[in-house]
A and B are shown apart, each in its own frame.
Chain A
Amino acid sequence: DTVLTQSPALAVSLGQRVTISCRASKSVSTYMHWYQQKSGQQPKLLIYSASNLESGVPSRFSGSGSGTDFTLTIDPVEADDIANYYCQQSNELPLTFGSGTKLEIK
C-alpha cells in the first residue's frame, strides 16, 4: 500500500503563506488530490491531480509536486481556512489518504 505522510499540525498567522506537505512512500506520479474538512462537515476537494484547482475554490489555494513529494499552499491564509487538510493518492489501489494536517491560527 502507498503510505502518505503529513505533519499533524501547523500554526500560521493570518495573511501569511503556509505550505502543507504530503510525502508518498512510492511514486504516485501526479495522482494526488487535496481535501479540506472543516469541523462537522464533509471533505471538500481543493486540488486534483497535484496542481489543478477545483472549480469554485479560491485561487489562494495551489498545489504542486509529482512522484513522492507534494505540497498544498495557501497564500494568504484567511480565518476561514481553519480546517483539517488531507492528501489522497489514486495512482494505485488501495486508494489511501494521509492522516491529515490540522491548520491552526497563531
Chain B
Amino acid sequence: EVQLVETGGGLVQPGRSLKLSCVASGFTFNNYWMSWTRQAPGKGLEWVASITNSGGSTYYPDSVKGRFTISRDNAQNTLYLQMNSLRSEDTATYYCTRDPAGSDYWGQGVMVTVSS
C-alpha cells in the first residue's frame, strides 16, 4: 500500500524558516517524480515544487522561487521542503504527492501557519 506521511508543520513567525518531511512507503521511491502542493484555508490548490526522481532537477512557481527548496533522500525514501522567509500568505495545508501523470497519491497534509 502506497503511503505518504508528512511531518514538520506548525506555527511559525513571519520571516522564519520551517522544514517539512514526507516519508514514502509502498513503492519504489526513486522511480517517481515527487511534488509539494498546498491549499490555503478555504481556498484552492496551488503547486509549490517538484523534483525529478533522481533529485537532479527541481522546479518552482514564482511565488516561492528563491525561498523554498525541495529535496529528496532516495536512500531514506524521504521528500523534503525547506521553507525560508515565510510570509502570512504561505499559511496552508501542504501535501506531498507522487507524480507519474497527475498526482496519483497524496499525503494527508500538514498545516503550516505563519503568524506573529
Contact = CB atoms under 8 A, between A and B. Distances in A.
B102 A33 contact: yes
B14 interface: no
Nearest to B63: A94
Interface string B104-116: 1011110000000
Interface in B72-94: none
- The bracket for how many chain A residues form the interface is 20 to 34
A54 to B, nearest CB: 7
Nearest to A99: B44
Contacts, number: 57
A90 interface: yes
Interface residues of B, number: 19
Interface stretch (A10-18, A42-50, A73-81): A42-50
A97 B44 contact: yes
B26 to A, nearest CB: 14
Interface of B: 35, 44-47, 50, 59-62, 95, 101-104, 106-109
A-B residue pairs, 10 tightest by C-beta: A33-B102, A48-B102, A94-B61, A95-B47, A42-B106, A97-B45, A48-B101, A45-B104, A99-B44, A100-B44
8 contacts: A33-B102, A35-B45, A42-B106, A48-B101, A48-B104, A86-B44, A94-B59, A99-B44
